[in-house]
A = this chain, B = another copy of it.
Amino acid sequence: MSTTIVTTPSGRAFISDNMAGASPQIAQAVVDAATGQVLPYGNDPYSDSARRRLGEIFERDVDVFPVSTGSAANGLSLAALTPPWGSVLSHPDSHINHDECGAPEFFTGGAKLVDVAGHETKIDPALLKKAVLRRAGDVHSVQPSVLSISQATESGSVYTLDEIRHLSAIAKDAGLRVHMDGARFANALAHLGATPAEMTWKAGIDLLSFGATKNGAMTADVIVSFDPAIAAELAFRVKRAGQLASKMRFHTAQIDAYLTDGLWLDNARQANAMAARLGDGLKAIPETGLLAVPQANIVFCRLPQHVTDGLLAEGYAFYHDRWEPGIVRFVTAFSHSADDIDQLLDAVRRHTR
């Protein structure tokens, strides 16, 4: 771990939603879970309740595997869906392809990630149609085995239900399985106003990386499986990968609280609303250029360099040197308030003058 410590004035960090803390209800749930003796490895009331709630929101039986990170959720899910000689079709800018140091390759035993491009970080159906058939049956080539889509995407766009169904159908018709990287699942759901069932298994998703950490939890993501046939395999994979927590109650208590009284959707709506507020504000500032109307909680825009410099000087934190010059990214979190956004907009306006 690097020892560079950066602290920003509260509310001025927009680098990622993982800079936020945790919802008070989730912190309290962890404290409440800290007393008493229960069985380890998920055989406890907290885990039972979390499982029940997940079954409720997805309106069906699901198999549930709490893990400590989104990368673990993705890697383990993909490993259950592809043989080592398979290929995983994903967008070139997907987190699994770009930001996990080869975790999918590690978990799958060396499967290959194959790019399928598309606008707005969404996979193009026409390209997918070709990719799913690429050298199928040819022993000299890896075999298309899984489609992995991110919902919301890494740029903050959100697939419509029709788009998910369409991509899934293309994959399924060619015999592939479908994985959803839902690190920002709640943000996408809140944007669409859809049900969890509609956005997943009813649309063809086999395995979901259900993210909670970015949206108010601490360290708890969950693999949700809609295919009972792979549950046994996943249980072994999870244990073998060092992802079966002994005191699992501390993971599942987070999930349980996250799903109680709609906290998860409230948090996502707040984060999305803050992105929308920021987007609206930026649109009204002539010197800035919004790249797309925010759908989830990510805002990409153009800022003049002196504006960027001015914001950084005031302690604002955001990515500004990862893309072509002038492009910056703001990620809002459940913990951002309207005040935080308004102050940011004020600062942008001040520096644009």
Contact = CB atoms under 8 A, between A and B. Distances in A.
A242 B143 contact: no
Contacts of A27: 30-31, 34
Nearest to A28: B31
Given A5-B48, A246-B213, A105 B105 contact: yes
A240 B102 contact: yes
A113 B112 contact: yes
Contacts of A21: 33-37, 247, 249
A237 interface: yes
Contacts of A333: 37
Interface string A262-301: 0000000000000000000000000000000000000000
Chain A: interface secondary structure? loop
Interface stretch (A68-76, A157-165, A194-202): A68-76
Contacts of A4: 39, 43
A82 B123 CA distance: 31
Interface in A226-245: 233, 235-245
A260 interface: no
B141 A250 contact: no
A103 B239 contact: yes
Nearest to A47: B1
Contacts of A45: 5, 7
Interface stretch (A8-16, A173-181, A302-310, A342-350): A8-16
Nearest to A251: B219
A218 B37 contact: no
B39 A214 contact: no
Contacts of A139: 41, 101, 235-236, 238-239, 244
A76 B41 CA distance: 21
B235 A22 contact: no
Interface residues of A, number: 101
A40 interface: yes
A5 B236 contact: no
A45 to B, nearest CB: 6
Given A4-B43, A84-B102, A140-B239, A22 B250 contact: yes
A214 B2 contact: no
Contact of A247 (B1, B35, B219, B233): B219
Contact of A242 (B11, B16, B103): B103
A30 B23 CA distance: 12
Find the residue from A51, A74, A75, A109 having the highest chain B CB count within 10 A: A109
Contacts of A67: 242
Contacts of A113: 112
Which of A219, A235, A242: most chain B CB closer than 10 A? A242
Contact of A102 (B20, B64, B85): B85
A43 B6 contact: yes
A250 B69 CA distance: 12
Nearest to A35: B21
A26 B64 CA distance: 27
A148 to B, nearest CB: 15
Given A3-B48, A30-B218, 14 more contacts: A1-B43, A2-B43, A6-B38, A13-B39, A22-B34, A68-B245, A69-B245, A72-B242, A84-B240, A101-B139, A101-B239, A214-B246, A219-B247, A219-B250
